[in-house]
Structure 1
Amino acid sequence: MTFQLAWPWLLAALPLPLLARWLPAAPEPSRAALRFPFPGALPSASERQAAPHHRGRLVLAVLAWMLLVLATARPQHVGDTVHLPVVGRNIMLAVDLSGSMQTPDMRNGRAAMSRLAAVKNVAGEFIQRREGDRLGLILFGDQAYLQTPLTLDRPTVLTLLNEAQIGLAGQQTAIGDAIGLAIKRLREEPAGNRVLILLTDGASNAGSVEPLKAADLAAQEGVRIYTIGVGADAAASNGPFVAFQGGNSDLDEGALKAIAQKTGGRYFRASDVASLTQIYGLIDQIEPKAQDAQSWRPVEELYLWPLGGALLLSILVALSVLRVVPVLPLRRTHHAE
């Protein structure tokens, strides 16, 4: 936080009263005599020289002038720099909470963890990285539920994801309903940055909307869908993004691929924590987060304070001048006839 003058060059006006005083005076006109009928009502020369208010008025006038010039120079209070990210993407995360998500077949090094625990771990890091984007969370099982609407409050989205439990939305898998709910939340957002990341380990066996029909509607609304199939398989080929030969017994990879292709997204297969981490890293590259492109410093104008002070001092000077001006009584004169 700093103080500055927007127009500091206006301080050069401070000595103007002195320059005006040093300028040669205009020639005085010829003096004409004026007869004053009441000479006793005028103050004497000694009284005028001893007036105590003259010096005080001068000081007040000088201070008023200085404050007026200071107000003209526009003093400002400048706050700390604030970085404004450009408009980011609107990303909905749809996470499967069906019963099979508790299967502990996701390897993290030598340790095994459940599919949902792996999703929480890796998706949580993804959420933390998406600064400047608006994120939302959908949890689905028998039905789809909006857990968090689109928001810039990433810690809240992360907290609600970590609090999700198996069976919270039912034991089955309503993929079509999850897509439909995401479309409803994304359709009012600007075109070109509507993204859904759908993560499941099974086939759609519940809900009122067919997944492929929901994908067609998503394509019409400009929503890109990235589908991720979760679950280990011993028959996996090399590479984290290549479809497994067998796949999970419940995983409908054909439907997940079709959903992604219809909407301009991509399908990924995650067999362990490392491959899931690579998938989210690749999505970061495909859908880059907002970058800081603008910055500003909040400015508070302070000129009203010196301007108000100058006005107050000017009023005091005017009152002091009026106080010392003599009031001459009007008297009638009688002429003898």
Structure 2
Amino acid sequence: MLHLYWPWLLLLLPLPVLLRLLLPAEPQVEQAALKVPFLDDFAGGQTQFLSSNKPWCLWVAYIAWFCLVLAITRPQWLGEPIELSVSGRDLMLAVDVSKSMEATDFKIKNENVDRLTAIQFVAGQFIERRVGDRLGLILFGTRAYLHVPLTFDRKTVRTLLNEAFIGITEDEPQTSIGDAIGLAIKRLQNEKVDSRVLILLTDGANTAGELTPLKAAELAAKQQLKIYTIGIGADEMMVRSLFGMRKVNPSADLDEKTLTAIADMTGGHYFRARNSEELEKIYGLLDQLEPVEKDKQYFRPKSELYYWPLAVAVLLTVGLATYRLRFS
């Protein structure tokens, strides 16, 4: 569909006619008559000069003016409306990067990896599937900080998650779960209610920060921020020692009671991920979260067309000027 961005500029079209009618005519200058005995020698030049004043020259000039005015109205071609995929969800990931995440009790493609690497692998696939959501990323250890603000750019979120490393936030090996929740509340408090979700992944207990996890959960509940907590780590693991192989519990420090309370207080759910398969299932369940419906948004691609009438106007003007200079 053809569309004019500034259609009111079409009011300029009659301007040359109005100027011709309203402005006073050029006064006639009386000059002395010159009698030339050999007038026939000037006949060709006089005919050419008169031909430059033919009425069609005015029509060409007016067509050039019309094309110029049409160009400045900024004509555009609007394509078919395209519906944008926007769910309206604001989803923040809070990932533990404390020293304890170095435990290699997860497997990816039959290879032992640390907990953070497993999260990066599985959460990366989850991020790619969240089409239409705004995603953000918080990293926390001794301190919590916003690594990626809310954005529709899923590729950037995944890249920066993969670039995170253990110990990036800490001066000493501690975990500030409460501060991570508090930072999420701060970043999401001005967003639409019922569209805010925090997914918090940790393998330990709160040992640092100014805000306790339960107090942070209470504030989150008041802000209607739903929190899904995920406890990371295997229940048992075989390690080599001086006395041979022995079983250990690498998740002994995991505070499941607090994580469950956080989820319950905010209307979320607590999940336990003992291996990569369970972690993938958890993200599959999170994929089933119903998005908040928004009014449908549409985008219409636009193609600028102003250069076509502008080119015609320039060509006609140059052609008319060349004709008058040559035959006048």
Which one-letter code corresponds to 2:167 in the other structure?
Answer: G
1:203 maps to what in 2? 205
User: Is the Cα contact below 8 Å between 2:227 and 2:262 reproduced in 1?
Assistant: yes
Structure 2 residue corresponding to 1:60, chosen from 52, 57, 60: 57
Q: Secondary structure at the match of 1:185?
A: helix
The one-letter code of the counterpart of 1:150 is L
Gaps of 5+ in 2: 5-30, 238-248
Aligned to 2:95: 95
The one-letter code sitting in structure 1 at the alignment partner of 2:153 is D
The 5 Å alignment of 1:230-249 reads 230-233=232-235, 248-249=251-252
Partner of 2:266: 263
Distance in 2 (alpha carbons) for counterparts of 1:6 and 1:120: 47
Structure 1 residues 213 and 230 mapped into 2: Cα distance closer, same or farther (>3 Å)? same
Post-superposition offset of 1:117: 1.0
Q: Which residue does 2:280 correspond to in 1?
A: 277
Q: Which residues in structure 2 correspond to 1:66-81 (within 5 Å)?
A: 66-67=63-64, 76=75, 78=77
Q: How far apart are residue 308 of structure 1 and its match?
A: 5.3
Q: Aligned runs of 1:298-337 on 2, under 5 Å?
A: 298-302=302-306, 305=310, 309=314, 312=317
What's the secondary structure of 1:285's corresponding residue? coil
Q: Report the equivalent of 1:327.
A: none
Taking structure 1 as the reference length, the TM-score comes to: 0.67
Q: CA deviation at 1:296?
A: 1.4
1:1-337 equivalences under 5 Å are 51-58=47-54, 60-67=57-64, 76=75, 78=77, 84-86=84-86, 88-108=88-108, 110-170=110-170, 171-233=173-235, 248-288=251-291, 293-302=297-306, 305=310, 309=314, 312=317
Q: Distance in 1 between matches of 2:2 and 2:99?
A: 66
The one-letter amino acid paired with 1:205 is T
Once the two structures are overlaid, the 10-residue window that deviates more, 246-255 or 76-85, is: 76-85
| Paired residue secondary structure (2:191) | coil
118-127 or 249-258, larger mean C-alpha shift: 249-258
DSSP 3-state at the match of 1:218: helix
**Structure 1 spans left out of the alignment, 5+ residues:** 8-37, 236-245, 325-337
Residue type of the alignment partner of 1:199: L
Q: Relative to structure 1, is the Cα distance of residues 262 and 54 closer, same or farther in structure 2, using a 3 angstrom cutoff? A: farther
Q: How many angstroms apart in 1 are the aligned matches of 2:145 and 2:3?
A: 53
- Tell me if the contact between 2:2 and 2:78 (Cα under 8 Å) persists in the aligned partners: no
User: Please, which moves more after superposition, 164-173 or 76-85?
Assistant: 76-85
Cα distance in 2 for residues equivalent to 1:64 and 1:313: 10
Tell me the CA shift for residue 219 of structure 1. Answer: 1.4
Which residue identity is paired with 1:166? I
- Rg larger in structure: 1
Displacement after TM superposition at 1:173 (Å): 1.7
Q: Distance in 1 between matches of 2:235 and 2:89?
A: 33
1:174 and 1:305 map into 2 onto residues whose CA distance is 63
Q: Indicate conservation of the 8 Å contact 2:67/2:313, yes or no.
A: no
* 1:244-274 alpha-carbon deviations (Å, 9 max, x no partner): xx99322222221221122222221112112
Question: SS of 2:288's equivalent?
Answer: helix
SS at match of 2:226: strand
The equivalent of 2:23 in structure 1 is none
Deviation at 1:94, TM superposition (A): 0.7
Cα offset for 1:314? 12
Supply the AA of the counterpart residue of 1:213.
Answer: K
Deviations 1:114-141 (A, max 9, x none): 2111001011122233344332221111
Are 2:217 and 2:262, in contact at CA under 8 Å, matched by a contact in 1? Answer: yes
Contact 1:85/1:294 (8 A) holds in 2: no
Do the aligned partners of 2:139 and 2:147 also contact (CA within 8 Å) in 1?
yes
Structure 1 residues 54 and 310: CA distance shift in structure 2, 3 A: farther
Q: Secondary structure at the match of 1:286?
A: coil
- State the distance in 1 between where 2:190 and 2:181 align: 15
The CA deviation at 1:178 is: 0.6
